[in-house]
Amino acid sequence: MTFAVLCLFVFIIAFVIAAMMGGIDVGVPAFGGGEVAVIPVHGEITLGGCASGLFFSEACADVETVKEQLKAADDDSQVSAIVLDIYSGGGNVVASREMMRAVRKTKKPVVAWIGEIGASGAYYVASAADRIVADEDSITGSIGVLMPVTQYYELMDWLGVNVTVIKAGESKDIASPYRPMTGEEKNELESLVNKVYDSFINDVASNRNLSRDYVRNVSKGKIYLGSEAVELGLVDELGGIDTAIEVAGKLGGIQGEPGVKRPERKASLADLLN
């Protein structure tokens, strides 16, 4: 071994030891490579998949798809952080909670970006992220629970249509459209809705490190612009998708401008015909 090669070898060993001891910043991201995975949460949040036909595919945020994309990003050595690109007014309670739990379980840093709208169940999902970024005019909040009950018994009376319901179990036809709802039945349904509402508030309070009383006070189903949500502590900062990617990159330990990785979009028949 020549003297020059020996010196090079000693230098490399010293460099590695210094880097391991924190003396030299070698620019290695804390969680993986130099990329941020951007995962869309667009449309209604659902457990049942998205409605589709021969020439169209309805935009929705299917829980299983988003969970698979989160896991893929978590397992990808080139990805250091994740951005949820949210454009959704929410969805069913169970679907929204399932997606929220998936975000909460993700090992790598997650930043939620609220675009035009990220309200109700979509805000539920965003609350589990490490940071939330929203445009100043984004619509968010709407922390509440809704149970619409449609009744058309008066119309049926006017049409001369009679429906006789045979049931076993006093509450079996609760919220029936064929008759007025009793006071006891309304109280029973309100009790169910309030229990779900309490769970919603508790999870948001835990995710955002806020008190339950505070979240209950600022929620009440109200919607807020992004600028208002920042003041209330429901959003961390204002900005566009680029800001969210930059924040995610910093949380993931990426130095400089991060690369962006997006899931491949499946082409529909309409795309192929265009």
CB 82 within 8 A of CB 108: yes
CA dihedral of 125, 127, 130, 135, whole degrees rounded to 10? 90
CB 23 within 8 A of CB 14: no
User: Could you say which of 167, 172, 220, 222 is catalytic?
Assistant: 172
Q: In terms of residues, how long is the chain? A: 274
Q: Would you call 195 a catalytic residue per the annotation? A: no
Q: Would you call 120 a catalytic residue per the annotation? A: yes
DSSP 57: B
Q: Per 3-state DSSP, what percentage of the chain is helix, strand, and coil (rounded to 5)? A: 40, 20, 40
User: Could you say which of 80, 88, 96, 120 is catalytic?
Assistant: 120
111 phi and psi angles, rounded to 5 deg: -115, 130
**Residues forming the active site:** 120, 172
